Amino acid sequence: MRLNTIFAVLIASSLPLIAHPAEAKKSINVYTTRHYESDQKLASEFEKKTGIAVNIVQIKEASQLIARIIEEKDKSQADVVITADVGNLWRASEAGIFQPLASAAVKKSVPTEFRDPKDNWTGLAMRVRALAYNKEKIKPEQIARMEDIASPALKGRVLVRSSNHVYNQSLAATLLAANGRDAVVGWAKGVTANLARKPQGGDTDQIKAIAAGEGDVAMVNSYYVARLLDSKNPAEKDLMKNTAVVFPNQKDRGAHANISGGGITRSAKNVAHARQFLEFLVSKEGQEIFVSYSKEYPVRADVAIPAVLKSLGQPKLDLKGLSAVGQNTPEAIKILEEAGWR
């Protein structure tokens, strides 16, 4: 952690954040579920440029973050909320914890598809849902579409996170937009029937399981793959030795894209500074820091994609599906539960 930036890292949401009145005019409190080096670097650079300190409160789950702000009401000390996945941003917006960004700089910097239509939040970084696979056991044409992992030919070979995770819920929501309920019910049941093991772990754990021979194909976000390929740890690089990645649905709607994003809370005490912080995050400098450290895609078109990420290919993206995630998520959750995907 940078000593010249104030970091109040509170893992449990029950712990209070201490703010000193003398510092209130020159600081902001950021509640976040992200835990990446890029975010610490961004906070540090923002303080250097503006003299505004960033107090970061790390909360493990988006549901905990939203619940905490709702409980705190007007007494909440959060000025900015940052979380991964448009599904979580939609939930936070529906819970009424945001106020409009009202930022011309954000509107100019971030394409419409990565911003809330109601101006409650903006995307900050993008990732793409890909399929990692064992090069010796799977041919890329077998998994050319996300729908293909439900094929009976992959019985006992598919690795996934829990259906309770927002990544899977948002993906299913985009499939609803593309294919309709009956098709997604069949897909979810097919994936469940194809599981190599009980759903567990994160995306890196799925890649580890492929390397260990526990399964042959897994859904993973692009930045997890890029980090392993770019790792200075030989053991992490070895995980990708016999593993490759395909971006699905390149001949139709495109691969599922998602974002991390942020907004200003309705109870923010330092609205101007909070807006200034979000504007910095979507500035060209801020975006370059995001992608160089986290290996995510920028939301700005004028920022270069990291070479290691570019080496995976430049996928066609399903941005129409992204806009449908919020309204489709409740139904997607029901379908995943009905399919027995735990």
- Provide the whole-model pTM: 0.89
Q: Under CATH, which number does the domain 21-126+257-304 receive?
A: 3.40.190.10
Give the Cα separation of 284 and 287 in Å (integer): 5
Judged by phi (left if over 0) then psi (alpha if -120 to 50, else beta), residue 308 lies in alpha
115: β partners: 122
Is the pLDDT assigned to residue 13 strictly greater than 80? no
Tokens of 108: 């100019």
Give the Cα separation of 196 and 43 in Å (integer): 41
In tens, the pLDDT along 129-154 reads 999 999 999 999 999 999 999 999 99
Give the Cα separation of 252 and 239 in Å (integer): 30
The arithmetic mean of pLDDT across residues 225-247, rounded, is: 96
What is 127-256+313-338's CATH topology? Answer: D-Maltodextrin-Binding Protein; domain 2 (3.40.190)
What is the residue extent of each domain of the chain? 21-126+257-304, 127-256+313-338
The arithmetic mean of pLDDT across residues 295-311, rounded, is: 95
In tens, the pLDDT along 173-191 reads 999 999 999 999 999 999 9
> How large is the angle between the packed helices 62-72 and 86-94, nearest 10 degrees?
20
Task: Give the pLDDT of residue 15.
Answer: 38
Q: What is the DSSP string of 246-273?
A: E-S-TTTT-EEEEEEEEEEETT-S-HHH
Give the residue among 240, 249, 206, 225 at the shortest CA–CA distance from 297. Answer: 225
Is the pLDDT assigned to residue 284 strictly greater than 60? yes
Q: What is the DSSP string of 143-170?
A: GSSGGGGGSGGGTT-EE---TTSHHHHH
Give residue for tokens 């190599």: 196
In tens, the pLDDT along 19-31 reads 444 344 589 999 9
The residue type of 80 is V
The arithmetic mean of pLDDT across residues 162-178, rounded, is: 96
Task: Give the pLDDT of residue 36.
Answer: 85
Give residue for tokens 């939040």: 121
Q: Specify whether the CB–CB gap between 166 and 64 falls below 8 A.
A: no
In tens, the pLDDT along 196-218 reads 999 999 999 999 999 999 999 99
pLDDT band of residue 61 (cuts 50, 70, 90) is very high
Task: Give the pLDDT of residue 14.
Answer: 37
Q: Specify whether the CB–CB gap between 149 and 131 falls below 8 A.
A: yes
pLDDT band of residue 11 (cuts 50, 70, 90) is very low
256: phi then psi, degrees, rounded to nearest 5: -65, 120
126: phi then psi, degrees, rounded to nearest 5: -120, 150
Strands 158-159 and 217-221: parallel
Give residue for tokens 């044409």: 141
99: β partners: 264
Task: Looking at the chain, list the stretches that DSSP marks H as alpha helix, in order from N- to C-terminal side.
Answer: 37-50, 62-72, 86-94, 104-109, 166-179, 181-193, 203-211, 222-229, 234-238, 271-281, 284-294, 307-310, 319-338
Question: 238: how many CB neighbours lie within 10 A of its CB?
Answer: 13
Give the residue among 184, 173, 158, 192 at the shortest CA–CA distance from 318. Answer: 173
pLDDT band of residue 321 (cuts 50, 70, 90) is confident
Is the pLDDT assigned to residue 281 strictly greater than 80? yes
Is the pLDDT assigned to residue 246 strictly greater than 70? yes
Is the pLDDT assigned to residue 8 strictly greater than 80? no
